Amino acid sequence: MFLPFFLELKSAQVPVTLREYLTLLEAVKEGVADFDVEAFYYLSRAALVKDERFIDRFDRVFAHVFRGVIGQGETSGEASNPVDLPEEWLRRLADRHLSEEEKALVESLGGFDKLMETLRQRLAEQKERHQGGNKWIGTGGTSPFGAGGFNPEGVRIGQTESRHRKAVKVWDERHFRNLDDTVELGTRNIKVALKRLRRWVRAGAAEELDLDGTIRATAEHGWLDIQTRPERRNRVKLLMFFDIGGSMDDHVKVAEELFSAARSEFRQLEYFYFHNCLYEGVWKDNLRRRVSVIPTEEVLHTYGPDYKVVFVGDAAMSPYEINMVGGSVEHWNREPGAVWLDRVTGHFRKWAWLNPLPESQWGYTQSIAMIRQLFAGKMYPLTLGGLEAAAKELSR
């Protein structure tokens, strides 16, 4: 009965293997999660999920398969066949989660066997969605099988929280929804992704205790011989350019989180602001952007080719701002923005562009295609997966 679960995980691109699936079957056979659905959830997650990025997908598939009813088909509009749950599991859950008074009430209404028999009949007969009422599987009514309603012997299906504390089991609670690598970032997740850019070296004065060296030297000499070594430092140098204002106002939060995470991870971090496209001047203080402009040429002369460069922006602008003299919306630029971007990619060895817009929307904006071409295709979505891909590219 667990084969459909395994195949659903594969379809959801959760990287599960046949060996992991067989391990799960062996654990079930040995009674590790004996008739306990919650225990089976944690057992199967431990056996099948080896990367926290896929926990959210696993949770969705688990709820999809084991709540008893597969969701409506997205293309055909027809409902899939229900998945049979082991009746012993549901009976054991009822024993665990219902009070003695509630168990007596279930028995007075026909008992658990009658409840499950009725559920199967209604799943087979029902052809459409229902709202309210006391019979069909729907929402807001008093049917024992609906969601959001009330019934003392309820097997609540499809709701995200326990409303009346009468449900046998709620399947849809998810604790790790922010770990999927397709979601937008948080500061913690950004720090995890940026670790790919670390290159540790020991440099400077020997001020850190070398415990292994001290033990070795003490054993060799017969007396306490303290050894020290230079502190380990991340030698990666990072230069960031942030698009600010205009359409980027919608992405301030994620840009701030990225900036905060980068500052905590990299000691050798420098940053500058620009608007829409890079031109002859950048700035470090948005309140003084009109009077404290730093020439872009000076930036190129100051920072060597070993710096890794990251641009952060939605690249959404008029094409004239990229390829025309005077195309800037703020000033008269004597050289097109494309010229300055070419100078950046020609000076530095490693670069990438992070775009907070969903990748599915990139094809609708001509300027995004132009920027991607200027960056040799090295544009990545500002998601956990996109940031890890960018970090991998910068680390080559």
Give the DSSP per-residue string, 115-162.
HHHHHHHHHHH--S-EES-SSSSEESS--TT-BSS--TT----S-SS-
Arithmetic mean of pLDDT, 221-249: 83
How far, in Å, are 203, 282, 291, 300, 350 from residue 304 at the CA level? Answer: 20, 17, 26, 7, 11
Arithmetic mean of pLDDT, 336-350: 95
- The 10 Å Cβ neighbour count of residue 105 is 14
- Pick from 78, 70, 68: nearest CA to 11: 70
Residue 241 CA to residue 284 CA, distance in Å, equals 10
Query: What pLDDT is recorded for position 240?
Result: 92
What is the set of domains in the chain, with CATH numbers? 96-180 (no CATH), 203-234 (no CATH), 236-395 (3.40.50)
Residue 105 CA to residue 299 CA, distance in Å, equals 77
- The 10 Å Cβ neighbour count of residue 149 is 23
When computed from its CA atoms, the radius of gyration of the chain, rounded to whole angstroms, is 29
- Evaluate whether 340 touches 280 at the Cβ level (below 8 Å): yes
- Report angle CA 141, 60, 64 to the nearest 5 degrees: 55
Query: What pLDDT is recorded for position 116?
Result: 64
Query: What pLDDT is recorded for position 168?
Result: 37
More reliable by pLDDT, 178 or 255: 255
- Pick from 206, 204, 203, 271: nearest CA to 237: 271
Query: What pLDDT is recorded for position 2?
Result: 81
- Pick from 391, 395, 238: nearest CA to 307: 238
Arithmetic mean of pLDDT, 87-93: 58
Mean pLDDT over the full length of the chain? 76
Bridge pairing between strands 281-282 and 350-355 = unpaired
Give the lowest-confidence range in 62-66, 166-170, 262-266, 388-392: 166-170
CA atoms 259, 261, 264, 267: torsion sign: negative
Percent of the chain with pLDDT over 70: 63
Give the lowest-confidence range in 114-118, 246-250, 313-317, 391-395: 114-118
Query: What pLDDT is recorded for position 92?
Result: 58
More reliable by pLDDT, 173 or 156: 173
Query: What pLDDT is recorded for position 374?
Result: 95
Give the lowest-confidence range in 153-167, 226-240, 260-274, 364-378: 153-167
Arithmetic mean of pLDDT, 338-365: 94
Q: Is the pTM of this model over 0.85?
A: no
Class of residue 348 by CB neighbours under 10 A (exposed 0-12, middle 13-18, buried 19+):
middle
Residue 64 CA to residue 49 CA, distance in Å, equals 17
Task: Read off the pLDDT of residues 101-139 as tens digits, 9 standing for 90 and up.
Answer: 666 665 665 655 666 666 667 666 665 655 545 544 555
Arithmetic mean of pLDDT, 7-36: 86
More reliable by pLDDT, 214 or 152: 214
Residue 60 CA to residue 276 CA, distance in Å, equals 38
